[in-house]
Amino acid sequence: MDTQDTQNPRQDQDTPRSGGSGPADARPVLEGPDIARVLTRIAHEIVERAKGAEDVVLLGIPTRGVFLGRRLAEKLAEITGRTVPVGSLDITMYRDDLRMHPPRALARTEIPGDGIDGRLVVLVDDVLFSGRTIRAALDALNDIGRPRAVQLAVLVDRGHRELPIRADYVGKNLPTSLRETVKVLLAEEDGRDTVLLGVKQNP
């Protein structure tokens, strides 16, 4: 999901998707096999840090965080041999920039049956940028229950934080300038897996 202020619009949500291809001059920084390897590594890190991941609940942030969350859940199931609860957390109603845009369509919040009270919640998102999405997600979690702890897994950390927030599990640290765009494409939504680094079209 995107979070941005007016200075830093991230393009992956706000521009129409053109058949899964990015801007003309965008270059891939992660390809399909890289993404698979990265997710496997993050899954192992979660198991290691959570000492077996017994009370882990994965919550993906729509749209692409949900797909990443499901993929991570599959990897965790392979590693631990147990099914890991996975759901989605829509943060639209908790955004701090609601009044700066027309109202957005809402996405699905799906909390696994046993809830999140006393569990280790791992939030999953595609790109970590300003950190405002994660702030909104923490607020949303507050209204749903009281986890034992909350951690954050992201596929790409592109820097430029505007809040004191960091990720616990990072697929790839990608130093970027504010003039650049980072676009994550996933097979479930876009037909292929890749991360594209491009230049913002209209300054």
Partner 1 sequence: MLRHLISAADLTRDDAVLILDTAEEMARVADRPIKKLPTLRGRTVVNLFFEDSTRTRISFEAAEKRLSADVINFTAKGSSVSKGESLKDTAQTLEAMGVDAVVIRHGASGAPYRLANSGWIDAAVINAGDGTHQHPTQALLDAFTMRRRLVGRDAGLGQDLGGRRITVVGDILHSRVARSNVDLLHTLGAQVTLVAPPTLVPVGVGSWPCEVSYDLDAVLPKSDAVMMLRVQRERMNAAFFPTEREYSRRYGLDGDRMARMPEHAVVMHPGPMVRGMEITAEVADSDRCTVVEQVANGVSIRMAVLYLLLGGNEPAVTHTRTEEKSDR
Nearer to partner 1, 66 or 155 (CB): 66
The answer to whether 55 and 148 have CB atoms below 8 angstroms apart is yes
Binding piece for partner 1, criterion CB under 8 A, among 21-29, 72-80, 86-94, 169-177: 86-94
Which residues 45-84 are close enough to bind partner 1 by CB under 8 A? none
Nearer to partner 1, 2 or 193 (CB): 2
144 is an interface residue for partner 1 by CB under 8 A: yes
138 is an interface residue for partner 1 by CB under 8 A: no
Nearer to partner 1, 37 or 104 (CB): 104
6 is an interface residue for partner 1 by CB under 8 A: no
163 is an interface residue for partner 1 by CB under 8 A: no
The whole-angstrom separation of Cα 131 and Cα 189 is: 23
Pick from 29, 50, 79, 93 the residue near partner 1 by CB under 8 A.
93
Is the peptide bond preceding residue 6 cis, with omega within 30 degrees of 0?
no
102 is an interface residue for partner 1 by CB under 8 A: yes
94 is an interface residue for partner 1 by CB under 8 A: yes
DSSP lists the bridge partners of residue 56 as 120
Which residues 179-198 are close enough to bind partner 1 by CB under 8 A? none
Sign for the pseudo-dihedral over CA of 182, 135, 92, 167: positive
Pick from 145, 161, 176, 199 the residue near partner 1 by CB under 8 A.
145
90 is an interface residue for partner 1 by CB under 8 A: yes
Nearer to partner 1, 63 or 181 (CB): 63
C-alpha torsion 12→21→106→104, nearest 10: 60
34 is an interface residue for partner 1 by CB under 8 A: no
* Phi and psi angles of residue 111, each rounded to the nearest 5 degrees, phi first: -95, 130
How many residues touch partner 1 (CB under 8 A)? 19
Instruction: List contacts with partner 1 (CB under 8 A).
Output: 90, 93-94, 98-109, 139, 143-145
